[in-house]
Chains A and B, each alone.
Chain A
Amino acid sequence: AQSVAQPEDQVNVAEGNPLTVKCTYSVSGNPYLFWYVQYPNRGLQFLLKYITGDNLVKGSYGFEAEFNKSQTSFHLKKPSALVSDSALYFCAVRDSSGGYQKVTFGTGTKLQVIP
């Protein structure tokens, strides 16, 4: 069975500082990994994904994520946080091996950027 863990319910960071939102995963095969962002009372918006290849993935709004196979992690990062980045962030994983595999979402991390 596949799973995703987001160990922090909330992350606080000062505006202008770098931010990291953590994600670890477990799959039996190779993973497809995704990050989504959700603003209050809205649907999720896709930020970026890892399929294969370069371990550093760049996405929307200046976000990037680093895939680490040995640590089974896919942390979301941004060099300089904006107040407008405050939102709920979800990591998700899908096993790439054989047939249809659903996407499993983490429980979400609330990012609060403090002016």
Chain B
Amino acid sequence: DGGITQSPKYLFRKEGQNVTLSCEQNLNHDAMYWYRQDPGQGLRLIYYSQIVNDFQKGDIAEGYSVSREKKESFPLTVTSAQKNPTAFYLCASSIGVGGASEQFFGPGTRLTVL
């Protein structure tokens, strides 16, 4: 899983709770991403960031928020507004946004709503 760490590995959320998923990279990559993976649906982009203090919505940003205060860190908050948050969440990074750069993925966080 390269130089990207995600924590926790498993996370349980009660209804109405906000939870934050951690993502840290030591690859010195400028770009970072958050994806949601559901069975049979591939990966869907939640947010991405090209540079510190800048981020953009992906395809399914509703109910999620992010910050990028440091190059190494890109935490994702799943808010109570996200109606169906149970999923596997993957963080990734790449040298740059766009172009032919491949993405490096973390080990993932599995979020379950109780």
Interface size class of A (residues with CB under 8 A): 20 to 34
Label chain A's interface by main secondary structure: loop
Known: A90-B43, A107-B41, A108-B42. A43 touches B100 (CB 8 A): no
What is the CA–CA distance of A9 and B108 in the complex, to the nearest angstrom?
Answer: 22
A68 adjacent to chain B (CB < 8 Å): no
A102–B1 CB distance below 8 A: no
Label chain B's interface by main secondary structure: loop
Residue of B whose beta carbon sits closest to that of A51: B100
A43–B98 CB distance below 8 A: no
The minimal Cβ–Cβ distance linking A102 to chain B, given in whole angstroms, is 6
- Kindly identify, within residues 13 to 72 of chain B, every residue whose CB is under 8 Å from any CB belonging to chain A: 40-43, 45, 48, 50, 58-59
Known: A32-B99, A100-B97, A101-B98. A43 touches B45 (CB 8 A): no
A45 adjacent to chain B (CB < 8 Å): yes
B48–A102 CB distance below 8 A: yes
The contact string, 1 if C-beta is below 8 Å from chain B, for chain A 82-106, is: 0000000010001010011111011
Which residue in A9, A32, A108 is a CB contact (below 8 Å) of B100? A32
A49–B105 CB distance below 8 A: no
Please give, as numbers and ranges, the residues of chain A lying within 8 Å of B97 by CB-CB distance.
Answer: 100
What is the CA–CA distance of A41 and B50 in the complex, to the nearest angstrom?
Answer: 27
What is the CA–CA distance of A105 and B43 in the complex, to the nearest angstrom?
Answer: 6
What is the CA–CA distance of A82 and B106 in the complex, to the nearest angstrom?
Answer: 25
Please give, as numbers and ranges, the residues of chain A lying within 8 Å of B104 by CB-CB distance.
Answer: 46
Residue of B whose beta carbon sits closest to that of A99: B98
Which residue in B42, B102, B108 is a CB contact (below 8 Å) of A105? B42
- Kindly identify, within residues 26 to 64 of chain A, every residue whose CB is under 8 Å from any CB belonging to chain B: 32, 34, 36, 41-46, 49, 51
B42–A106 CB distance below 8 A: yes
The contact string, 1 if C-beta is below 8 Å from chain A, for chain B 77-114, is: 00000000000101010000111101111111010000
